[in-house]
Amino acid sequence: MVTSRERVNLALAHQEPDRVPLDLGASAVTGMHVSVVAKLRQALGLDAPGTPVKVVEPYQMLGEITSDLMDVLGVDVVSLRSPATMFGFKNEGWKPWTTFDGTPVLVPGGFNTQPEPNGDLLLYPEGDTSVSPSGRMPAGGWYFDSIIRQPPIDDAALDVEDNLEEFGPISDELLAYFRHEAALLYNETDKAIFANFGGTAFGDIALVPAPWLKHPRGIRDVEEWYVSTVTRRNYVYTVFERQCEIALANLEKLYAAVGDRVSAIFITGTDFGTQRGPFISKKAYRTLYKPFHSRVNAWVHAHTSWKTFIHSCGSVYALIPDFIEAGFDILNPVQCSAAQMDPAALKREFGDQISFWGGGVDTQQTLPFGTPAAVREEVRERIRIFGPGGGFIFNTIHNVQPLSPVENVVALYEAVRECGGYG
């Protein structure tokens, strides 16, 4: 019998397993909003109404995907990531909380919010309410947005180290954590391990504002950062150079700790696409980002058995050859609704060179607004296109969004079960 780990590894080696492997929740870009997790668990008979679900990533309010839910759905991948959230506090000390839509949840002890007069909720780095808030959930909203806390920039005093504050040698404590968790997941489950060690995403705009830092320095405004890739290009390039040096040294220590227990590793979540096309030129990608992607991927491939994962939303068809040349093994989320991202064309042109992790169903239209029948048909179509020959891990296109009807979500996983073997 093929184990989940073997199934994923076969698919990533572009060999066809017994069925398409399934991921749910192994990363912060392949999960599900906590409100939908709660409804799905109730629909499947795992929980009674009102049973709280843990929020394991408060930035996007992602719900915990526990082993019982994995077993019911047939999930093949488990997550290995830092114990700290995007806001710097750890997933521990759970306490009750309620979302704006009335869903009872459990949040970490450091999840300390303060209401604004207009009903917005403020969240704080490391849960420290004595410093400026770093996150805001609009009244009635579903997620937290980063609050920009960039001090006025004095170019004469701008120091590369200011944008490297969050990077540095990995601590012995964190290494020990990854060592222990990797061994636990490998020995006590049969699932493939997907790791996100951090530190290798160059210019990921979700990370630039650094909501986990109490007093971030340097360029931290989203617009200012994007402008700086042109107006302060040498500064940004130097930040990437130093970040890359630190990352490679940390990866060496991490590999010594976890070894080849890991199947795939999250390298970058820097988005390069819009709905209509890339928002970066090929030249800009090749000169500013690709050199560092290539260095990291080359190190991983020379020293480990890990497969490397790039997440980039939108229409990135024009950049996929460069992603492949830079050494990426896996593309996510495979946004088939964007321009030039036709699934059949992607599989035909790139299916033997890169694996598609995602692309299973559209979370912008079909899943939230379609019928269960439409969801089933889209899932079947994507499995028929992406599945043959391996190179496909089924996941939705990015996280399952709130307000997605639970009957649609159930239909999604029923279709995966029915058609995973291309039936």
Q: Per-residue pLDDT tens for 312-357?
A: 999 999 999 999 999 999 999 999 999 999 999 999 999 999 999 9
pLDDT for the residue numbered 416: 97
- Which string of DSSP letters, residue by residue, matches 260-311? GGEEEEEEE----B-SSSBSS-HHHIIIIIHHHHHHHHHHHHHH--PEEEEE
Task: Give the pLDDT confidence of 79-135 residue by residue, as tens digits.
Answer: 999 999 999 999 999 999 999 999 999 999 999 999 999 999 999 999 999 999 999
Neighbours of 186 (CB within 10 A): 21
In a domain, 113, yes or no: no
In a domain, 208, yes or no: yes
Could you list the mean pLDDT of each consecutive 10-residue stretch along the chain, which spans 423 residues?
Answer: 96 97 98 98 97 98 98 98 97 98 98 98 98 98 97 93 96 98 98 98 97 97 96 98 98 98 98 96 98 98 98 98 98 98 98 98 98 98 97 98 98 93 62
**Domain count within the chain:** 1
In a domain, 388, yes or no: yes
In a domain, 35, yes or no: yes
Domain that includes residue 258, residue range: 4-51+65-88+150-419
For residues 49 and 103, give the distance between their C-alpha atoms in angstroms, rounded to a whole number.
Answer: 10
pLDDT for the residue numbered 151: 87
In a domain, 304, yes or no: yes
Phi first, then psi, for residue 416 (nearest 5°) are -60, -45
For residues 225 and 227, give the distance between their C-alpha atoms in angstroms, rounded to a whole number.
Answer: 5
Task: Tell me how far CA of residue 78 lies from CA of 23, 265, 352, in angstroms.
Answer: 8, 12, 25
Q: Smallest Cα–Cα separation from 332: which of 363, 310, 317, 364?
A: 310
pLDDT for the residue numbered 210: 98
pLDDT for the residue numbered 420: 65
In a domain, 287, yes or no: yes
In a domain, 269, yes or no: yes
In a domain, 121, yes or no: no
pTM check: above 0.85: yes
- 21 in Cβ contact with 77 (< 8 Å): yes
* CATH code for the domain of 204: 3.20.20.210
Phi first, then psi, for residue 52 (nearest 5°) are -75, 150
